[in-house]
């Protein structure tokens, strides 16, 4: 478990590094900034709308520096998510050149070579922007390590909420096997490993560290943060839900609700089990499911209420550990400290 | 993370407690005894054939004590698996009364109240036989804690190989949420928590301990043990397979290959992705899949070969961490020591 370069690249980040996921549509300037201020690493979610993305970058620059226009030579201590299948490389690269985020997190390409292409173009325009690449398989991690030489591999386990590979293991086996494969090929010296998927409390963070992760990503847990752009009914559903392995499910159906699925073919997403999903399992047609979904979106509940839950509410299996709304800084600090306490206790119990 | 009573009930077991799963058909006297001799806790797999089960109990009694007949007042320092849906309570209880295994691991009841019934009957005949109950959900764990008051809850994550609940989370969220729920109801003081699912190396053991487990079960890893009753081609398939999240899958299909599925309704199993499964996904009828399966079983490869893999080869997502055949004692010792080293390193890296 070498100490790699997360602490060098993000010197304000306290150990263990806590990272807020670039949840598209949810992770905006307020969340990214609050995580940054709590000595974590905050990401803006990638969105296809470039005007909205520019505004988000201006806003977070303003929160960090006091002025919305990036100064020359400035590096923004905030990460940026990129959805490769849904964004144009040249448009994103232009924003990166201008705003110089400290990291760009590449996710969900239609074709694997796109990762290397984006990596190369981003590095050309912003040397201080570290490249993060998200993947959920051992083979994929090895391939990306060889083809992109990213600074960070985000290993996403099957417990993760939102989008990821249709097939996958939990981090309990994904991380150790990937580390072993990378080590054998001598690919690990310059790549940090960040864990995602099912981590929602201090013990999960501690577990990910023992598995060999250098940093930890949480998404679902940050849906409870005050600074996250999430509808109150959506957040309420997250806070109410227990027993995440039973009450969430991975399915492509959630990407079909509002129209044809635009995600790359091997992707699906984990969300709360909804009436839409139950209908799908019972063989109800997608046309009818879409109609009911559209109707529910017109109500005051937007399809988020438990009685007629028709909308996708993305959540990982850790959703049952997410119990109350809180400032992001409190979440970061509490979990970081709990992770240390947990590790010490586990060792004390052993010795 | 209270230190509960695993070390009191099984005083020969070294910390952290390493447990070999009661893999039906695989975990016989030689494996259980070898794990016991390595200061772990070995289980015999539960089988419906009572004559075979009696022989296994006699054999392991012979290995432990030197004589196949249990002495009066004797407790056998070996656990016994019980498959509730496939065995008769009175027959199993009679064997428990005679052989007095130190633990009985209850699994897979058709109806949840069966667990409490079996617990009560076993406790009547053998006070030193501790009751272990396996479950894969928070709600199920709370229910069983209340209805059975077991000595041990085995929390099985979705990464596990072989049988388990169709729906489920990995242990990364299952264990912390279950611990929280049990603590809130003050149910945890007399119940130890044992983790299963995806753990196949020292870092997985260390992670499970930080999540709050008192002991760790491995199944897939012990398929590599010399003492396990496993066909060489089956073991070879396990040793060759990498990237367990991509190359294993949970499906009911594996229980349909040899005839109608006899498992309780909410169960399926994780196995290597086989041609049978691919056929199933492509819509080939179960009759045809069964025919191909039966034909493959008649060949010298028994359907285990990679070219025409038709048989179920049960394996968890940790299969890629299982790389070489070894004596069980070596597996237990190596993983136990690696877990300690890993925990210490994780803490050193933090502080």
Which residue, of B214, B230, B246, is where some domain finishes? Answer: B230
Whether residue B249 and residue A167 make contact (CB cut-off 8 A), yes or no, is yes
Percentage of chain B modeled with pLDDT above 70: 99
> What distance in Å separates the CA atoms of residue A74 and residue A54, rounded to the nearest whole number?
16
Whether residue B173 and residue A317 make contact (CB cut-off 8 A), yes or no, is yes
Q: Is A270 helix (H, G, I), strand (E, B) or coil?
A: strand
Residue A2 has pLDDT above 80, yes or no: no
Give yes or no: residues A260 and A133 share one domain.
no
Alpha-carbon distance values, B134 to B84, B87, B204, B280, B313 (Å): 11, 16, 19, 29, 21
Tell me the pLDDT band of A73, cut-offs 50, 70 and 90: confident
Give yes or no: residues B246 and B217 share one domain.
no
Give yes or no: residues B156 and B44 share one domain.
yes
Q: Hey, which residues 238-267 in chain A have their CB within 8 Å of chain B? A: 242-246, 249
Find, in chain A, the residue whose alpha carbon is nearest to that of B142: A243
pLDDT computed for residue B7 by the predictor: 81
Q: Which residues of A fall within a CB distance of 8 Å from B197?
A: 170, 172
E-assigned strand segments in chain B: 18-20, 41-44, 76-83, 101-107, 130-135, 152-156, 162-165, 192-196, 215-218, 248-251, 267-272
Q: Which residues of A fall within a CB distance of 8 Å from B1?
A: 342, 345-346, 349
Mean pLDDT of all residues in B243-267: 97
A183 Cα to chain B: minimum distance (Å): 13
Give yes or no: residues A216 and A281 share one domain.
no
Contact residues for A331 (Cβ-Cβ < 8 A; gap 6+): A218, A221, A222, A224, A225
Whether residue A173 and residue B180 make contact (CB cut-off 8 A), yes or no, is no
Give yes or no: residues B126 and B110 share one domain.
yes
> What distance in Å separates the CA atoms of residue A345 and residue A210, rounded to the nearest whole number?
13
Residue A3 has pLDDT above 50, yes or no: no
Among the ranges given (A4-13, A89-98, A172-181), the one the predictor scored with the smallest mean pLDDT: A4-13
Q: What is the ipTM of this complex?
A: 0.97
Give yes or no: residues B87 and B194 share one domain.
yes
Interface test with A, best of B183, B245, B348 (most A CBs within 10 A): B245
Q: Hey, which residues 19-58 in chain A have their CB within 8 Å of chain B? A: none
Residue B3 has pLDDT above 80, yes or no: no
Q: Hey, which residues 182-241 in chain A have their CB within 8 Å of chain B? A: 197-201, 203-204, 206-212
Is residue B334 a part of any domain in this protein? no
A322 Cα to chain B: minimum distance (Å): 10
> What distance in Å separates the CA atoms of residue A218 and residue A199, rounded to the nearest whole number?
6
pLDDT tens for each residue of A264-282: 999 999 999 999 999 999 9
Mean pLDDT of all residues in B12-23: 97
Q: Hey, which residues 322-341 in chain B have their CB within 8 Å of chain A? A: 339-340
Contact residues for B340 (Cβ-Cβ < 8 A; gap 6+): A350, A351, B16, B202, B206
Whether residue B204 and residue A176 make contact (CB cut-off 8 A), yes or no, is yes
Instruction: Please provide the average confidence, as pLDDT, over all residues in chain B.
Output: 96
> What distance in Å separates the CA atoms of residue A71 and residue B21, rounded to the nearest whole number?
60
Q: Hey, which residues 91-120 in chain B have their CB within 8 Å of chain A? A: none
Give yes or no: residues A33 and A175 share one domain.
yes
Answer whether A17 touches B (CB < 8 Å): no
Residue B82 has pLDDT above 70, yes or no: yes
Contact residues for A345 (Cβ-Cβ < 8 A; gap 6+): B1
Tell me the pLDDT band of A1, cut-offs 50, 70 and 90: very low
B330 Cα to chain A: minimum distance (Å): 19
Whether residue B204 and residue A181 make contact (CB cut-off 8 A), yes or no, is no
pLDDT tens for each residue of B170-199: 999 999 999 999 999 999 989 999 999 999
Whether residue A199 and residue B15 make contact (CB cut-off 8 A), yes or no, is no
Is residue B243 a part of any domain in this protein? yes
Give yes or no: residues B99 and B116 share one domain.
yes
Give yes or no: residues B49 and B146 share one domain.
yes
Give yes or no: residues A214 and A288 share one domain.
no
| Cβ B219 vs Cβ B162: under 8 Å | yes
> What distance in Å separates the CA atoms of residue A89 and residue A129, rounded to the nearest whole number?
15
Which residue segment(s) compose the domain that B264 sits in?
232-318
Give yes or no: residues B245 and B302 share one domain.
yes
Mean pLDDT of all residues in B48-52: 97
Q: Hey, which residues 147-166 in chain B have their CB within 8 Å of chain A? A: 157-159
Candidates A41, A37, A16, A35; CA nearest to A337 is: A16
Mean pLDDT of all residues in A287-309: 95
> What distance in Å separates the CA atoms of residue B225 and residue B18, rounded to the nearest whole number?
14
Is residue B337 a part of any domain in this protein? no
Whether residue A321 and residue B172 make contact (CB cut-off 8 A), yes or no, is no
Percentage of chain B modeled with pLDDT above 90: 95
Is residue B1 a part of any domain in this protein? no
Of A1, A201, A347, nearest to B176 by CB-CB distance is: A201
Is residue A51 a part of any domain in this protein? yes
pLDDT computed for residue A351 by the predictor: 79
Candidates A173, A180, A164; CA nearest to B248 is: A173
Percentage of chain A modeled with pLDDT above 90: 95
Is residue B76 a part of any domain in this protein? yes
Tell me the pLDDT band of A34, cut-offs 50, 70 and 90: very high
Is residue B70 a part of any domain in this protein? yes
Whether residue A170 and residue B175 make contact (CB cut-off 8 A), yes or no, is no
pLDDT tens for each residue of A176-189: 999 999 999 999 98
Give yes or no: residues B253 and B131 share one domain.
no
| Cβ A188 vs Cβ A150: under 8 Å | no
Percentage of chain A modeled with pLDDT above 70: 99
> What distance in Å separates the CA atoms of residue A172 and residue A317, rounded to the nearest whole number?
14
Q: How many domains, chain A?
A: 2
- DSSP β-bridge partners for residue B250: B270
Is residue A4 a part of any domain in this protein? no
Q: Which residues of A fall within a CB distance of 8 Å from B139?
A: 242-243, 246
Give the CATH number, domain containing residue A335. 3.20.20.70
pLDDT computed for residue B2 by the predictor: 41
pLDDT tens for each residue of B108-136: 999 999 999 999 999 999 999 999 999 99
Tell me the pLDDT band of A331, cut-offs 50, 70 and 90: very high
């Amino acid at each position: 478990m070498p100490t790699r370069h997360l602490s060098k690249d993000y010197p304000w980040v306290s150990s263990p590094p806590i990272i807020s996921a670039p949840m598209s549509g949810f992770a905006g300037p307020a969340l990214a900034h609050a995580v940054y201020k709590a000595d974590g690493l905050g990401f803006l979610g990638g969105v296809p709308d470039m005007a909205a993305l520019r505004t988000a970058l201006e806003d977070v620059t303003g929160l960090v520096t006091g002025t919305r226009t990036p100064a020359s030579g400035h590096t923004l201590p905030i990460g940026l998510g990129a959805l490769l299948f849904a964004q144009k490389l040249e448009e994103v690269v232009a924003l990166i050149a201008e705003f110089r985020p400290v990291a760009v997190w590449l996710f969900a390409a239609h074709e694997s070579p796109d990762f290397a292409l984006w990596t190369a173009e981003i590095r050309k325009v912003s040397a201080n922007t570290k490249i993060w690449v998200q993947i959920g398989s051992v083979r994929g991690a090895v391939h990306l390590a060889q083809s992109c030489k990213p600074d960070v591999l985000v290993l996403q386990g099957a417990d993760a909420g939102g989008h990821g590979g249709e097939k996958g293991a939990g981090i309990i086996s994904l991380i150790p096997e990937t580390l072993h494969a990378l080590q054998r090929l001598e690919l690990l010296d310059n790549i940090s490993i960040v864990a995602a998927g099912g981590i929602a409390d201090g013990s999960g963070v501690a577990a990910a560290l023992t598995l060999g992760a250098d940093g930890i990503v949480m998404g679902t847990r940050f849906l409870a943060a005050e600074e996250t752009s999430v509808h109150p009914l959506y957040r309420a559903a997250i806070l109410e839900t227990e027993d995440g392995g039973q009450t969430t499910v991975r399915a492509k159906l959630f990407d079909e609700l509002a129209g044809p699925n635009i995600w790359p073919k091997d992707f699906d997403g984990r969300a709360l089990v909804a009436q839409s999903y139950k209908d799908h399992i019972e063989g109800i047609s997608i046309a009818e499911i879409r109609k009911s979904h559209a109707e529910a979106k017109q109500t005051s509940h937007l399809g988020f209420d438990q009685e007629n839950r028709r909308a996708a509410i993305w959540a990982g299996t850790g959703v049952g550990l997410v119990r109350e709304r809180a400032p992001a800084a409190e979440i970061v600090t509490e979990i970081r400290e709990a992770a240390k306490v947990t590790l010490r206790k586990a060792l004390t119990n052993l010795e």
